[in-house]
A and B are shown apart, each in its own frame.
Chain A
Amino acid sequence: MNCNEAAATIAAYADGEVDRLRSHTIRKHLRTCPSCAAKHQELLALHARIRAEIPYFKAPSALRERVLATFADATPARGDRVRSADRWRWMTGGALAGCAATIVAWVIGTAIVDWRTNEDLAVEAVTTHVRATLGNHRVEVASSDQHTVKPWLSARLDYSPPVRDLAREGFALVGGRIDYLDRRPVAALVYRYRDHMIDVFVRPPTTHAPPAALRTVRGFNVAHATGSGMDWLAVSDLNAAELSNFVARVAQ
C-alpha cells in the first residue's frame, strides 16, 4: 500500500468501516509511514474531542409530553371516543399490524401503550416492582395478618383480592398496597421469602391472552398463574423455580 491508497482508506479505517484484511494492510502502512500515521492520529483526536465536547441534546421533557399527546390524539383517529380496549384493537388491526404500539413505546422509551400483550405486561410489572422498591413504597398496609390486608385492599378496589397466609411454606406476608397496572388500580401483595421480596399483583382476569407463565425482565423473574377467579402476576429477584412454585401456591 502506498500513501495515495492509504489516504483513501484512513478515515474509513478510523471509523471502523474497513474489513480485517484491509485493516491489516493499513496498519502495516501506518507503522512505517509517519505522515499517514499523523493523519490517522488527527482523525482519532478529532473524534475524541467531538465525543467529549460536543453536546448530545436530550429531548426536553416538555417535548416528550407533547409527543405523548400527539400519539394520544392520533390514536383514536378512526373512531369516535373509544375505550382503551377498542383502541388496542384499532392499533393492532389493519395496515398498522401492531406496529403503532411498538413505535410509540419505542419512540418514547416507556410502555405507554396498552400492555396487554404478554411482554408489555411483564415489563410493566417489573417496572412497577422496581419503582415501589426504590421509592421505599412497598407497603401501604403493613401487616402479616391476611384479615387486615384483605379488607384494606378491598375497600380501595372494585374487587376483593384473596390474601393467603403462606408463612408455613416460608413466604411471610409483609403487607399490601394499591398500585397501577394497565392504568388501573391493582392489588399488590408483598411477601418476603428469605431475603427476597416478592410483589404479587392480583386482578380479575381480562379478556386478553394471558401472559407467559414465566419470563425474565431485566434480571427479575415474572411468574403468572390463574386461580381463585383472579390473575396473579408475581415479580421478584427470587429464582424462577421457587417463584413459579410460589405463584401457583398463592393463586390456589
Chain B
Amino acid sequence: MPHLNAAYNLARWLARDANDADDVVQDACVRALKYVGSLHGNEARAWFLTIVRHAFYDWLGRNRPSEIVQDDGTALDTAIDHAAVDPEQSASRNDQTQALVDAVAALPLQYREVLVLRELEELSYKEIARVADIPIGTVMSRLARARALLQRSPLLHAVAGNMSGSER
C-alpha cells in the first residue's frame, strides 16, 4: 500500500507523533474520498500528499497552534525543537544515526516538509511546489535552508563533530 505509507510517512514526520499521524491520515482519507473528482492518474500521489498536508495543517491549527510559525526567513536558524527528540526509538540506533534523525525531526516545519517530500518521497521540485503550495524558487530555497540547517545542526555536532561527505 504505497500511497497509504507515503501519507503516513509524511504525516508522521510533520506531526512527529504516531497517534497524531494516525488522526491526520484518517482525516486525509475522508477528504480524499470527498474530493476524489480532482484525481488525475499519475499525479495521484502528489495529490494525495497535498490532502495529507492540508489535513495536517488543519489538525495543527486545532491542536498545536503555537507550532505554526510565520516563515519570514529569519529566526528559524535557532528554532531547534528539542521536544521532537523521540526517546522510544533511540535505543536501537547508533548515536550518529540518532543524531541525524533528531536533527531532521527538529527542523522547522516549513523546512522539514520540503525535505521529507524531496528526500523520502522523492517528489520533483514541481510536485513539491504543488503539494506545499509555494513557488519552485521557494522550494529550492527551503531545501537549501533545510540542508544547511542539517549540516550545521548542533545535534549532529554534539555527537560527531562533523558530518561532511568527505569523511564517508
Interface of A toward B, CB cutoff 8 Å: 11-12, 15, 17, 38, 41-51, 53-60, 62-64, 66-67, 70-71, 74, 95-97, 99-100, 102-104, 106-110
CB neighbours of B96 from chain A (8 A): 53
Q: Which of B1, B93, B101 has the most CB of A within 10 A?
A: B1
**Count of A-B residue pairs with CB < 8 Å:** 131
Interface of B toward A, CB cutoff 8 Å: 1-5, 7-9, 12-13, 18, 21-22, 25-26, 29-30, 32-33, 36-37, 39, 44, 48, 89, 93, 96-97, 100-101, 104, 115, 118-120, 124-125, 140, 143-144, 147, 150-151, 163-166, 168
Closest-CB distance, A25 to chain B (whole angstroms):
18
B26 touches A63 (CB 8 A): yes
CA–CA, A74 and B32, complex, Å: 11
CB neighbours of A58 from chain B (8 A): 5, 8-9
CB neighbours of A15 from chain B (8 A): 118, 125, 143
CB neighbours of A41 from chain B (8 A): 165-166
Closest-CB distance, A128 to chain B (whole angstroms):
19
In the complex, 13 of the A-B residue pairs with CB atoms within 8 angstroms, ordered by the A residue number, are A38-B165, A50-B115, A56-B120, A59-B8, A62-B22, A66-B22, A67-B26, A70-B33, A71-B33, A96-B36, A100-B33, A107-B3, A109-B4
CB neighbours of B39 from chain A (8 A): 99, 102-103
Q: Which of B48, B150, B164 has the most CB of A within 10 A?
A: B164
CB neighbours of B25 from chain A (8 A): 59, 63, 67
CB neighbours of A71 from chain B (8 A): 29, 33
A42 touches B151 (CB 8 A): yes
CA–CA, A106 and B22, complex, Å: 18
CA–CA, A59 and B115, complex, Å: 20
B147 touches A57 (CB 8 A): no
CB neighbours of B29 from chain A (8 A): 67, 70-71, 107
Given A12-B125, A57-B13, verify A49-B100 contact (CB < 8 Å).
yes
CA–CA, A11 and B119, complex, Å: 12
